[in-house]
């Protein structure tokens, strides 16, 4: 894993040199993938244009109401994929302000009324 973390750090630097203002590492579980886990880097050129969590919830609720619910995705997964063990977070981000990893969240949860 340490060599993978070094590559993540290197890729993040490369993305910054290409003009991306924010790059974040995430990890998702995929049962059909041989190791069951896939790492990803999400890069944004305008981090402030990102959707806030209430907007993400609204889009998801509209998908569900339209009969397009998925068996995998739900909004907490989108937030959770960026949660890393502290030592991994510290290795990748160091002293960088990573408070944006909370996806501009307000603590709003899915309810049965939605």
pLDDT in tens, 47-82: 777 778 888 899 999 999 999 988 888 888 888 888
> In terms of Cα–Cα distance, which of 75, 76, 12 is closest to 44?
12
- Yes or no: say if 34 and 84 are a contact pair by the CB < 8 Å rule: no
- The helix/strand/coil state of 104 is coil
Q: Which residue has the higher pLDDT, 101 or 65?
A: 65
Tell me the mean pLDDT in the region 14-37: 87
Its pTM stands at: 0.70
Query: Where does the pLDDT of residue 105 fall: very low under 50, low under 70, confident under 90, or very high at 90 and above?
Result: very low
């Amino acid at each position: 894993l340490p060599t993978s973390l070094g590559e993540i750090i290197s890729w993040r630097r490369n993305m910054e040199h290409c003009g991306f203002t924010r790059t974040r590492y995430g990890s998702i579980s995929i049962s059909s993938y041989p190791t069951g886990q896939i790492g990803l880097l999400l890069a944004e050129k305008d981090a402030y244009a990102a959707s806030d969590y209430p907007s993400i919830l609204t889009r998801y609720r509209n998908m569900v109401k339209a009969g397009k619910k998925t068996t995998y995705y739900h909004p907490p997964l989108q937030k959770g994929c960026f949660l890393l063990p502290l030592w991994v977070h510290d290795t990748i981000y160091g002293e960088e302000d990573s408070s944006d990893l909370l996806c501009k969240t307000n603590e709003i949860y899915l309810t049965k009324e939605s």
